Chains A and B, each alone.
Chain A
Amino acid sequence: MEVLVTALICFPFLWAILPAVIHNSKRRAFTVYLGCGIVMVLSVFTAIQWYLAGGQTLDFRLPYQEAFGEIFLWGDIFLMCFITYLSYKHNRLIIAFLSIISTVVPTILEKFGPELPAGPTMRFDWLTFIMVLIIGVVGSLIGVYAVGYMHGFHIHHHKEVTDRRSFFLSMIFVFFGAMFGLVTSANLLGLYFFWEITSVTSFLLIGYTRTDEAINNSFKALWMNLLGGCGLAVAISVGIIYFNTANLYTLIAAAVKTPTKMLCLLPIAMLAFAALTKSAQFPFSGWLLGAMVAPTPSSALLHSATMVKAGVYMLIRLSPAMADNYVGNMVALIGGFTFVAASCFAITVSDGKKVLAYSTISNLGLIVACTGCGYEETIWAAVFLVIFHAVSKSMLFQCVGAIETTIGSRDVEDMQGLMSIFPKLAFILMVGIAGMFLAPFGMLISKWAALKAFIDTSSVYVSTLMVMFICFGSATTMFYWTKWMSKILGASKREKSRDLTKKNEYISMFFHAFMMISLILGFPWLSEHVLKPLSNDMFGVVKQVISYENMVIMIVLLCGVFVIPFINYLLTKGQKGKKVITYMGGANAGDNFNFVSATGDPREMDISNFYMEDLMGEKKLFTPAILISSFIIVVYLIIVVGGALQ
């Protein structure tokens, strides 16, 4: 096991060198495919190995742990220097400052602070198992997709951007390595190193095109993530100074044992803070939106489908320590608030990628809220959502990217009638959207569990607020997804044209769709054999989250969603109806797309959805949302820090 995990972490880092040095595009593509294949196989193999071995929590040290420790240390320092250099170059000293603080403090403590007991530095348990699978499978599919996409990006669409694909592809591998490291580390120092790597790689990926906007956004991402890094640094320092440990689990255990002691909560709060920044919750959601400038889906989906999961992963880890305390309340409120606010913003934007970005933030908000609650049900729901979200988001991003290549726009309004011109793309899009909000799928089950749990939460205020957040959030979520869906199914204005989507993009997308559907179908199994042991591990109780009865209903609904339309489709196929032009008050010019205008000539009819910018537009509500969420965070942090210092 140790070896496998080490391989999992080290392999991508090493493999990253290959695309960087190979410049022949065919051969480079081959290396990337191969690398992704290996990563996928390796991760699946590791996971299965572990599963077959009985699914016990494994605590272990890496082989050559000391050597790794040194690498981490110097790696941290290298990253710090790198960032300092860049920020000096671009005249953003505040970033250098953040970076230096967050690196220097733990480093000094580690070097010169008290000697820490040598315990296990890694852990592999159910959550790791899931995360490894997500990163391995979804991540490597993204890798496959990226090769084709980036080819199209440079060769066909954006000739003006310098071709730095070698760099891009190798960064993807670096990223995999860091993510694997992140989800397996138990030692905060190791975790911190990987954490910083993800921040920096994402910074580099966002700035890929080197336009002004890209550079600005990349720095935005950087400072927000570094701020989170600072939180992590504080947590490490507190851990080392007060608890004499840098082990995540020790800290969690301490907090679980004495939830009323603020000092114990402090590192948890700091870690949670870091996680909030990483998972792009309000007020730190800006960076994820900014990330959308990166070459369309590849990096965007890296962020939405995988990187943000780092934050969520951390919160799920922490959640037993957050049950019914200040930290938990803070996280839950931020999550709930983000859920509502981001879904409101998602209504007001029409750029497909932006909708996806906001919906990511919003869904993550729901997950975060679940973790903040810290009950078995919510963890169950949170993990469930993580899985669904990863698959469907990755699929959606790829799909929007492919659509952009094909129809030349990623605006939702331009996807009118996609179903009849590019049915394959539309099908994938539909599956993805359905997976995000339709009746028996992921979101719904999680909402169900979350509502139940929040009603039972002990804090009256939090409970009331959270219930409201969820109720309103689910209404707004429904709005933007449905309007998108209805756009796709509408009548099409465009001519059929050639589908420019690459084969490998399709392979990746269909594989996702397949996964999605099997996840949906296999959800009782998943619940029974993965999620239950998971919450059992975390809380030590086995609880049937969803009753047998409801399980049956959900399955009935599920079949309903597929079977009812299908049967009806078959039944109505033979119906003969006379074709008639649509009703336009008698002004139809004869083809449903034009009407007789006021001047007597045909004029093209356009139909667009509601965006409600006056009501809940970014311009109007973004600043208040940031203020409210900052307020929540600041107040709770003051409570915790103040309490700890007393």
Chain B
Amino acid sequence: MAKIHKSPWLLHYDGSSCNGCDIEVLACTTPVYDVERFGVINTGNPMHADIFLITGGINSQNEAVVKQIYDQMPQPKVVIAVGTCACTGGIFKECYNIKGGADTVIPVDIYVPGCAARPESIIDGVVKGIGLFKEKAAALAAQSKA
């Protein structure tokens, strides 16, 4: 069995989602899906986090919060938009209070579609994120050497 060894720590924030994607994100950490197999820990503290899982279409009140949390994460960092809402705004994109998609607020690296995004799909997203994280780390190392 191939292994994916890295230690990307997750930060999950609900940017006005319906909750469905959030519980699926949480479900990923529980026994059946257990993302800790890849060294993933759900930290909840942006200062320690590497991967930002954002769900929901971001409302006005959340916008500043999301930006702030994003800024508090040290480089290299990967943002994964989980769920259709976070990808495009989904069914809520016409609501008066929804910005529509996490990428309207912060740069998103991986989109995980689905309503609700399935745990398998989230795992795929995270694994892709890990790959991206590796690349970014290498780029950062090269940059700091230069």
Q: Which residues of A contact B (CB under 8 A)?
A: 578, 580-581, 583, 586-588, 596
Contact = CB atoms under 8 A, between A and B. Distances in A.
A581 B72 contact: yes
Interface stretch (B62-70, B76-84, B118-126): B62-70
B95 interface: no
A578 B66 CA distance: 19
Nearest to A578: B74
A583 B65 contact: no
A583 B72 CA distance: 7
B118 to A, nearest CB: 27
Nearest to B75: A578
A583 B66 contact: no
A245 B143 CA distance: 88
Contact of A581 (B13, B65, B68): B68
A580 B72 contact: yes
A586 B72 CA distance: 9
Contact of B47 (A583, A586, A587, A588): A583
Contacts of A581: 68, 71-72
Nearest to B46: A583
20 contacts: A578-B74, A580-B47, A580-B71, A580-B72, A581-B68, A581-B71, A581-B72, A583-B45, A583-B46, A583-B47, A583-B72, A586-B13, A586-B64, A586-B65, A586-B66, A586-B68, A586-B69, A587-B65, A588-B68, A596-B64
A580 B47 CA distance: 10
A587 B62 CA distance: 10
Contacts of A578: 74
Interface of B: 13, 45-47, 64-66, 68-69, 71-72, 74
Contacts of B47: 580, 583
Dominant SS among interface residues on chain A: loop
A594 to B, nearest CB: 13
Nearest to B66: A586
A596 B74 CA distance: 23
A583 B64 CA distance: 13
Contacts of B71: 580-581
Given A580-B47, A580-B71, 11 more contacts: A578-B74, A581-B71, A581-B72, A583-B45, A583-B46, A583-B47, A586-B66, A586-B68, A587-B65, A588-B68, A596-B64
Nearest to B65: A586
Contacts of B72: 580-581, 583
Nearest to B48: A583
A575 to B, nearest CB: 13
Contacts of B68: 581, 586, 588
Contacts of B45: 583
Contacts of A583: 45-47, 72
Contacts of A596: 64
Nearest to A577: B74
Contacts of B69: 586
A580 B46 CA distance: 11
Contacts of B46: 583
B143 to A, nearest CB: 14
A583 B71 CA distance: 10
A527 B71 CA distance: 56
A601 to B, nearest CB: 13
Contacts of A587: 65
A596 to B, nearest CB: 8
Contacts of B74: 578
A162 to B, nearest CB: 57
Contacts of A586: 13, 64-66, 68-69
Contacts of A580: 47, 71-72
B95 to A, nearest CB: 20
A633 B61 CA distance: 65
Nearest to B68: A586
A75 to B, nearest CB: 69
A141 B17 CA distance: 68
A527 B23 CA distance: 66
B38 to A, nearest CB: 25
Contacts of B65: 586-587
B141 to A, nearest CB: 16
A587 to B, nearest CB: 7
Nearest to A586: B65
A261 B139 CA distance: 86
A126 B13 CA distance: 69
B75 to A, nearest CB: 9
